[in-house]
Structure 1
Amino acid sequence: MSTPTIYITITAHGFGHAARTASIAGHLQKLLPTVKLIMVTTAPKWLLACYIDGDFIYRQRGFDVGVVQADSLKMDLDATLSKWQQIITAKDEIIAEEVAYCQEQGVNLVFGDAPPLATLIAEKLGVPCWMSGNFGWDFIYRDWGREFTAIADWIGDCYGRCDRLFRVPLHESMARFPVIEDVGLTGGDPKYPVDFIRDKFDIQPAKQTILLTFGGLSLDAIPYQNIDRFPDYRFITLDAHAPDLPNLVKVLDRAYRPVDFMPLCDRVLSKPGYSTYAEALKLQIPIISLTRSGFAESEIILNGMQDFGYHQVISPDQFFADNWDFLNLPLQPPRSSQKLAVDGNQSIAHSILDYLGVNLSTAFQTSS
């Protein structure tokens, strides 16, 4: 058969959707090195390369909005609405351009997380559209009411044209999708041995080691000064703007991701977000999470975290206070005795290969 080609569209919102989708793509490439991956996103190429070891085509396009934000907690609803109106007005032009591109590339399958336009591109192209995710954007927007109701209706109609949804844990019902297959957690896995990370970044043993990670948008005015109150703790951040402090390890090399540091951490301090939670839950690392209002996914994510992992929930006021007394409080155990499946990357990749009719043993012989 000709080179199998997958057109992968990723929602234009932070880094989480890109990280978890690139993790699936990276696993697919390991199983089938000859696959041609077209990664369609506004996320930076270097981020995708952290999860995909081999070559891929980087097509810098955005087909949805997500939420326009100043940082990981502050949302701009008016700007979000305006951008969506622009996209819907231009949708026919966008679809025509992408269909022509996909035809040139010989695309066999459209995969998304989860720009609604992906379903219309696939429909016009004449190939299936598969998606993965834990929520649809209509679920987020419908909660906001006002002019977002019409946009949520339009998005729901697009999702109704999706041929197959791989629904990951920590999800809303996603009932607009006609075919739903539940899979395990997706997301990245650590690339390096713990001792290598500890030695390279001189992360000395401490009473507790805590990873501070707030997604690609980070947070405005993180109160790093509180770290001074815990001299026997070790903190790790990938925030290039963090101050230089004796017990703060600042990681500036983009080749390293939060998940690469999780195995040597006692806790992860974050905000509600599927990718960070999924990676921590897969590794059974406790999570200290801020709450987040106005974003419907957050309550679902927080509930899932409390059900399946050791955890602590704090308010933004506690986080931005000048003491971080919450670090002295005990963690809460998981509320459920059930265990989450962690094989989402593998399940989705194998389903794609099955659809392509790829025999793995033959594929490896051909590529070797």
Structure 2
Amino acid sequence: MSRPTLYIAITNHGFGHAVRISSVANLVQKMCPDVLLIMVTTAPRWLLESYISGDFIYRPRAFDVGVIQSDSITMDKQTTLEKLQEIRHKERSIIAGEVNFIKQNRVDLLLADIPPIAAKIAQAADIHGWMMGNFGWDFIYRSWGGEFLEIADWIGEFFAQCKRLFRLPLHEPMSIFPNILDVGLTGGTPRYEPEEIKAKFDIHSDQEKTVLLTFGGLGLDQIPYQNLARFPDWKFLTLDSNTPELPNLINVTKEAEKIDKNLPRIRPVDLMPICSRVVSKPGYSTFAEALRLEIPIISLVREGFGESKFLLEGIQDYSYHQILPPTEFFDGDWEFLRQPLQAPRKSEKLDKNGTEAIAQAVVDYLQ
């Protein structure tokens, strides 16, 4: 008997897609220990390893570009368009190469988040192709108009071939998909007890005055760290790579390396339980992990990216929150931290079991 084999294709954009599908992959592996995971992405291997505890095959391939960005907010539409046209030009050879790989490795199921071409790869390889997501790239590009309209149509044709979409909360309609199954929030689960994290990083501030600053895999240029001096008895935690040395700012990644080089990589979700709020930009994975743990969210507004509207609506509906105009974050004095949070508009909570629901469906199919 060959091992059940799951091929996972991940959008080549930021870290969020890799985080949420790796949470699913990790649970599939726990539920079905003999599964062979093939992670197909250009997301860094360390990121996948911080969510997947067992072994997997890493196949670095890019099937889409998402949006080319210099940081988590600044978009380069022209380069994005050029890269998309390049992929469109190579479409046939990309599909042929992957079909060959899938057949050689006897892949049983393809799960994607959410490179459009993956649906066509699965169809050409004659296996089931499933997807998970809260938006499709056709939706993002269509709102940009011009030459992106043709790209959106091209992508829509792929999505229309998807056998099943697990539609996550905070979503656009995604009506191009023929078979939609709504599921709950996805994300990782904290690896440490709150007291353990506080002891490791010598954090003595109370939760009310402990804040996580997290801006996705690309970070943000020009965070006004000088404002932290106005909050001397607060603690600010970050996983960003470039931070100044400040008495009340803990760069968790750097500190963790000093404590123990073999420590599993600390992730935002590991820090959230000791914080009173998460300061972020609109991003599904950060929002979903905070919503799962019921940690309030302070988010910047992000213009020109269609998904943002649904994400910001979502936290206003389901989370204690604040929504910040960029000027208040970049040019203000961060007085917003002392302001009361807005209560969620809705009393019901979102289902938190999306990771479990998708993993269960995958395992049921493989077995």
Q: TM-score range by the shorter chain?
A: over 0.9
CA distance in 1 between partners of 2:66 and 2:14 (Å): 8
Contact 1:136 1:174 in 2 (8 A): yes
Once the two structures are superposed, the pairs formed by residues 180-191 of structure 1 within 5 Å of their partners are 180-191=180-191
CA distance in 1 between partners of 2:11 and 2:363 (Å): 23
1:322 deviates by: 4.5
The yes-or-no answer on 1:21 pairing with 2:31 is: no
SS at match of 2:67: coil
The yes-or-no answer on 1:126 pairing with 2:136 is: no
The answer for unaligned runs of 5 or more in structure 1 is: 359-368
Pairing partner for 2:304 from 265, 269, 294:
294
Q: Which residue does the alignment assign to 1:249?
A: 250
Deviations 1:210-238 (A, max 9, x none): 00000000001111111111111110000
Q: Which residue does the alignment assign to 2:286?
A: 276
CA distance in 2 between partners of 1:354 and 1:16 (Å): 26
1:193 deviates by: 1.0
Aligned residues: 357
SS at match of 1:123: helix
Name the aligned partner's letter for residue 44 of structure 1.
P
CA distance in 1 between partners of 2:184 and 2:224 (Å): 35
1:19 deviates by: 0.4
The yes-or-no answer on 1:325 pairing with 2:335 is: yes
The yes-or-no answer on 1:340 pairing with 2:350 is: yes
Contact 1:203 1:249 in 2 (8 A): no
Contact 1:211 1:268 in 2 (8 A): yes
Q: Which consecutive segments of 4 or more residues in structure 1 shift more than 3 A?
A: none
Contact 2:320 2:343 in 1 (8 A): yes
CA distance in 1 between partners of 2:288 and 2:117 (Å): 26
Deviations 1:90-125 (A, max 9, x none): 010011111111111110011100001101110110
Deviations 1:33-61 (A, max 9, x none): 11000000110000000100000000011
SS at match of 2:341: coil
Contact 1:240 1:251 in 2 (8 A): no
Q: Which residue does the alignment assign to 1:316?
A: 326
Once the two structures are superposed, the pairs formed by residues 227-266 of structure 1 within 5 Å of their partners are 227-252=228-253, 253=256, 255-266=265-276
1:2 deviates by: 2.1
CA distance in 1 between partners of 2:50 and 2:247 (Å): 28
* TM-score when normalising by structure 2: 0.96
Contact 1:64 1:87 in 2 (8 A): yes
Contact 1:20 1:187 in 2 (8 A): yes
* TM-score when normalising by structure 1: 0.96
1:160 deviates by: 0.3
Name the aligned partner's letter for residue 293 of structure 1.
E
The answer for unaligned runs of 5 or more in structure 2 is: 257-263
Contact 2:10 2:41 in 1 (8 A): yes
Contact 2:277 2:298 in 1 (8 A): yes
Deviations 1:11-44 (A, max 9, x none): 0110000001100000111111110000001100
Contact 1:111 1:131 in 2 (8 A): yes
Name the aligned partner's letter for residue 86 of structure 2.
Q
CA distance in 2 between partners of 1:30 and 1:51 (Å): 12
Deviations 1:97-156 (A, max 9, x none): 111111111100111000011011101100010000000000000000000000000111
CA distance in 2 between partners of 1:171 and 1:349 (Å): 20
1:240 deviates by: 2.1
Name the aligned partner's letter for residue 156 of structure 1.
G
Once the two structures are superposed, the pairs formed by residues 1-368 of structure 1 within 5 Å of their partners are 1-206=1-206, 207-252=208-253, 253=256, 255-356=265-366, 358=367
